[in-house]
Homo-oligomer: A and B are copies of this chain.
Amino acid sequence: MDAAEFRRRGREMVDYVADYLENIEERPVSSDVEPGYLRSLIPTEAPLEPDNYDDIIKDVERVIMPGITHWNSPYFYAYFPASNSYPAMLADMLCGGLGCIGFTWAASPACTELETVMLDWLGKMLKLPDHFIAGTHGRGGGVIQGTASEATLMALLAARCKTLRRIRAANSELSEGEIRSKLVAYTSEQAHSSVERASLIGDVTMRMVPTDSTYAVRGSMLKKMLEEDKAAGLIPFYFCATLGTTASCAFDNITELGPICNKEHVWMHIDAAYAGSAFICPEFRPLLNGIEFADSFNFNPHKWLLVNFDCSTMWVKKREDIIGAFNHWQIPLGRRFRSLKMWFVFRSYGIQGLQAYIRKVGVQLNDPPCIFSLNGTVCNDLVGSNDLNQLLLKRITNSREIHLVPCQLSGVFVLRFAICARSTDSRHIQHAWRHITQLSCELLQENH
């Protein structure tokens, strides 16, 4: 394919994407294919000679679309938002065209520099403390990670390295192996599975801190565990707080937890992957109070801030803690020019436009505690028993009119309703509500 054909095919693809997004409501939101469906639809080997491009495009509808869960459908209420936006897509096209790999400053200065400044822009939108902003006299700054999993892991590894050095400096008789075997990390029992996975990768013990009735970790709970563990000769070194848990969007109490961590030399990482975008609105910013105690902080603009996946933003209080540990800010060395997406989105929407978008999605429902309504996550256990709830979800899924996933809260099988797509408005939510209510009534009638 030469440049002339790319101009033509590129236009067609732009139109295909625009058509897809404009008419996405007409497609069933989820797929009904069986595992293995795709293999039988395409050859077992790559073609020797080039295929016709028109045939490739025809195969997008024939092969790919039947197996797509439409994350940008207004009837998609599962997992979390992965809201794409047109400006982000345009920036990503530019990123692909430039094709530079920003693994060092010299490998493409603009790539490193725009990222640093975009992290400052976003940090200021969130009113992060100055020490997280690179363009100040502080020692911190921000970086784009691929996912929150990587941010959690990098923070844990940096904390491990820092603690090993600190303990060794004070106890030269202890071997690194001895210290390492005493290290303990902590997180909420409601934390995302990737947090525990970071401890498996980093090969350190992790303890799950119990939560209160709102599924939040309180200071007293962590304090009790730290004291137990210290009394047993262990070395607490890392606590991962969550602001906006995956299951119920619960917020750990970081104003209580932060001072405890600071006093005990426990690195506090804050994972706000899911809810963090909301903090650009003044009315939601109080939920981030306590950030001043954190050693690192992360959230995903690729979830709810209209920046296409992947773009997970991470700030550290002291750059040297993370760069000193591994020479780099992150696990991969090569990186796409992802900050272009942030630049295009922030400028195309403006701060007010982004705030308006957050407010539109962050609906306030009447009944559940407001913490649940932030980010549009509401949980319902309409029907009562776990078995019936499970059956209800199955019927909802089979209907393919809306798409939900469940979660477990205190042993209850809960249907979790998260407003995700950029195009979802009250019309869609009302439809979803009627649909859930109708299927619930049918189910209850059958079972009485």
Contact = CB atoms under 8 A, between A and B. Distances in A.
Given A21-B3, A44-B135, A350-B48, A13 B94 contact: yes
Contacts of A238: none
Given A3-B22, A11-B14, A347-B50, A147 B333 contact: yes
Contact of A326 (B116, B201, B331): B201
7 contacts: A44-B120, A44-B124, A47-B347, A72-B99, A89-B93, A146-B146, A193-B327
| Residue picked from A109, A113, A346, most chain B C-beta under 10 Å | A109
A92 interface: yes
A336 interface: yes
Nearest to A36: B113
Contacts of A11: 10-11, 14
Given A109-B33, A149-B332, A346 B38 contact: no
A78 to B, nearest CB: 8
A310 B334 contact: yes
A125 interface: yes
B351 A71 contact: no
A424 interface: no
Contact of A88 (B4, B16, B42, B96): B96
Given A50-B348, A149-B332, 5 more contacts: A46-B346, A53-B87, A53-B348, A69-B100, A200-B326
A153 B150 CA distance: 13
A433 interface: no
A296 interface: no
Interface stretch (A56-64, A209-217, A221-229, A260-268): A56-64
Contact of A6 (B89, B94, B180): B89
A56 B93 CA distance: 14
Contacts of A328: 197
Interface string A103-129: 001111111011011001110110000
B331 A98 contact: no
A448 interface: no
B110 A64 contact: yes
Nearest to A7: B18
B68 A38 contact: no
A71 B108 contact: yes
Contacts of A15: 7
Interface string A143-172: 000110110010001001000000000000
Interface of A: 1-7, 9-11, 13-18, 20-22, 31, 33, 35-39, 42, 44-51, 53, 55-56, 60, 63-72, 79, 82-90, 92-94, 96-101, 105-111, 113-114, 116-117, 120-122, 124-125, 135, 146-147, 149-150, 153, 157, 160, 177, 180-181, 193-194, 197, 200-203, 302, 308-310, 325-328, 331-334, 336, 340, 343-344, 346-353
A50 B357 CA distance: 13
A334 B348 contact: no
Nearest to A341: B96
9 closest A-B pairs (Cβ-Cβ)? A67-B110, A10-B14, A17-B97, A38-B113, A147-B332, A84-B99, A6-B86, A67-B109, A51-B347
Contacts of A94: 13, 16-17, 60
Nearest to A200: B326
